[in-house]
A and B are shown apart, each in its own frame.
Chain A
C-alpha cells in the first residue's frame, strides 16, 4: 500500500519471471510444452482486461450497460472471470494475478484492501467521469462504489396484503401478529442479520454500530422458532420466497424484484432496509493495470449507471445519475432519496473487524437446541 508507484511498474515483468521459474521447477518437458502457449497468451494480451463477475441478472446487466459500451469506445476487450474472495486472495498471495478489475461487496473489498491487494484508484487521471460527482461515502482510496443495493424486508402479498404486512423488523419479530415461516441471512451470505435483530429489539437506527453482538443473538432467539432456513445465496432466498417455503424474509432487493417481475406475489417493505455498497477495484499486480484504471473511470459515468439501473434495480453511486433516471425506475432503487432516508448504511468495516468473533458465535448459536 505504501509504495504503489513501484508496484505498478513491476508486475508484468515480475510475473513472467515467477511463472518461468515455476515452469523450470516442474519437469523440463512440461516447460518446453507450455512455453509457446505462454508466449502466445502474452502477445494477444494487449487490448483486454479481465473483470471478476458474480453471475446472475446483475452480470447480464453490467455486460449490457458497461462492458459492451467500454469495448465499443476503447476497443479493449472485457473478459469475464468468476472468482470467490478466497480465490482472489490466493492469486494475490501466489503472485499469479489473472484478474485486473474486481467488482465486490464492501466487506470483500475491505478484506482485499486490508491484505494490501488493491491498487489505488487514479482519480486524478479520470477522463470520462468526474470524481467529485461520486458519493463521498463510496469514494475511497483503493475502491470506488459502483452500485447501492439493499437487504430489505420481503413479504408474500397473498399471506400479507400490502398495508397489512410487517412494516418494521420489530413487526417481523412479532410471531403472533404476523404468523408464518420466515428466513434470514446466513453468515455465508456475507453477514448475519444482527442489525435487523437489534432494530427489532429497540435499538435506534443511528445507534447500531458498534453492534452489540450478544444482544443481537438474544433477539434472534425470539424469532428462531419461525425461521425455516438461513439463506446463504441470493438464489436460495429468491427460490424460498417464490416457492412459498417462507412468507417473510430478509432478501436483497434485486433478487426479490426479479422474481416479482415474473409474476410472483412478492413485495418490498423499504423501512429499515440495510443499504449496502459494492465497489470497483484494481488488483495490485494486475497485468493490464492501466486499462483497468481506465475501465473504472469509464464505468462510473452517470449515463452508464443510469442505464444499469434501468436493467436491474440497483442504485447509482454517481450523484449526477439520478438526472438520467426516469421516476418509475427511481422508485425501485434502494438509494433513491425516499428509500435512503428510511434505510441505514451497513458498516462493512465493523463486519471486517468482527467477523471471526461473529463467525464463532454464529456456529454456537446455530447448534443450540432451538
Chain B
C-alpha cells in the first residue's frame, strides 16, 4: 500500500530497473488471488487427472493402450473436432453481422441489443435445449409452420441428427462470439472509416480494407473461445443428436458414471487436452494470435 503512493515519485528518482522490479512485485500481489484459485481448483485437479490416467492399482499405460486399441475413440475425437469446427464457422457467419450492428448503432440501442444477446444465459441449458426440441421436432412448431405454409411437403428432419446438434450448439455459443467480436469492433475508431471514405473508398472497400482487418483479433478470439467450448459439449449433443452424433465428452461421462473406469476416463480427457493444446498452437501460428494477447483490440 505504501509502495503505491511512493511510485510516482520514485519513477523519476530511482533507476528504471528498481521501479520495474517493484511494479512486477505489485503485479504479482494483485495476481496472487487468481493464481491461487487457478492452482487449487484447476491445476491441482488437472494433475490429479493426469496421474489417474496412468494409475490403475500401480502405474501402467493400459488406459492409453485401450484408447488406441480400437479406432472408436479417435473417430469420436475426430467427429468432435469436426462438429466444433462447423459450429464455430456458423457462429462466425451469424455473429459477425450481429456484432457489427451492435458496435455501430446508437449506444442506447446497443445496450438493449446486448441484453437480448445475453438473455439466454439466465435460463438453464437443459431448459433451453428442451425448448429447442419442442420447436424443432417432427411435429414441432417450426415444422408445423413450414408444412402449413407449403414450403415443404413433409416435416424436415431438424432434430435427432447433426443439424439438431449444430443448431442447439450454435444457439448456446453465439453470445460468446458476438460479445467478443463486438468488444473489438467497438474499439475501432469510426474516424478511420471516415478517412477511408474521404480518400475515395466505397463503403464496401472501406469495410474490406479498413474495418475487416481491424476486427480480425475479435474474429480470432471469438472463434477460439467458441471452438474450445464446443469441444467439451455434452448436454446438447446428447439430447438433440441422433444415434451416431457421439461427442467425446459423452464417452468420458459414460466412463465416469457408468463403466466407472476413471483411469480410462482420465486418459480420454488427457488426450483431448493434448489435442486441444496442439490445435491451439497451430491456430496461434496461423492467426498470429500474439496480436490478440498484446491487446491489439
Contacts and interface: CB of A to CB of B under 8 A. Distances in A.
A244 B138 contact: yes
Contact of B243 (A89, A355, A370): A370
A239 interface: yes
Interface in A58-87: 84-86
B241 to A, nearest CB: 8
Interface stretch (B177-185, B202-210, B256-264, B285-293): B256-264
- Nearest first, the 10 A-B pairs at minimum CB distance are A229-B160, A86-B257, A86-B256, A363-B72, A359-B259, A364-B72, A355-B259, A244-B139, A356-B259, A243-B137
A187 interface: yes
Contacts of B250: 188
Contacts of A355: 258-260
Interface in B215-238: 238
A359 B70 contact: no
A245 B259 contact: no
16 contacts: A85-B257, A85-B258, A188-B250, A188-B253, A228-B160, A239-B133, A243-B133, A245-B138, A245-B139, A245-B159, A355-B259, A359-B255, A360-B70, A363-B246, A364-B70, A368-B244
Contact of A224 (B75, B133, B243, B255): B243
A230 interface: yes
B145 interface: no
A interface SS class: helix
B72 A188 contact: no
A190 B79 CA distance: 24
Nearest to B160: A229
Given A86-B260, A239-B133, A245-B139, A363 B243 contact: no
A89 B255 CA distance: 13
Given A244-B138, A370-B243, A359 B257 contact: no
Contact of B238 (A232, A244, A368): A232
Contacts of B133: 239, 243
A368 B251 CA distance: 16
Given A86-B260, A230-B243, A367 B72 contact: yes
Contacts of B79: 367
A84 B255 CA distance: 13
A228 B246 CA distance: 15
A366 interface: yes
Given A232-B238, A239-B133, A245-B137, A367 B246 contact: yes
B260 A111 contact: yes
A360 B160 contact: no
Interface of A: 84-86, 89, 111, 115, 181, 187-188, 190, 224, 227-230, 232, 236, 239, 243-245, 355-356, 359-360, 363-364, 366-368, 370
Nearest to A190: B258
Contacts of B239: 236
B251 to A, nearest CB: 6
Nearest to B255: A359
B254 A188 contact: yes
Contacts of A368: 244
Interface string B125-168: 00000100110011110000000000000000001100000000
B242 A229 contact: yes
A370 B160 CA distance: 14
Nearest to A351: B258
Contact of A356 (B75, B160, B261): B261
A243 B75 CA distance: 33
A232 B251 CA distance: 13
B110 interface: no
A266 to B, nearest CB: 15
B193 interface: no
B76 interface: yes
A187 B246 contact: no
Interface in B13-53: none
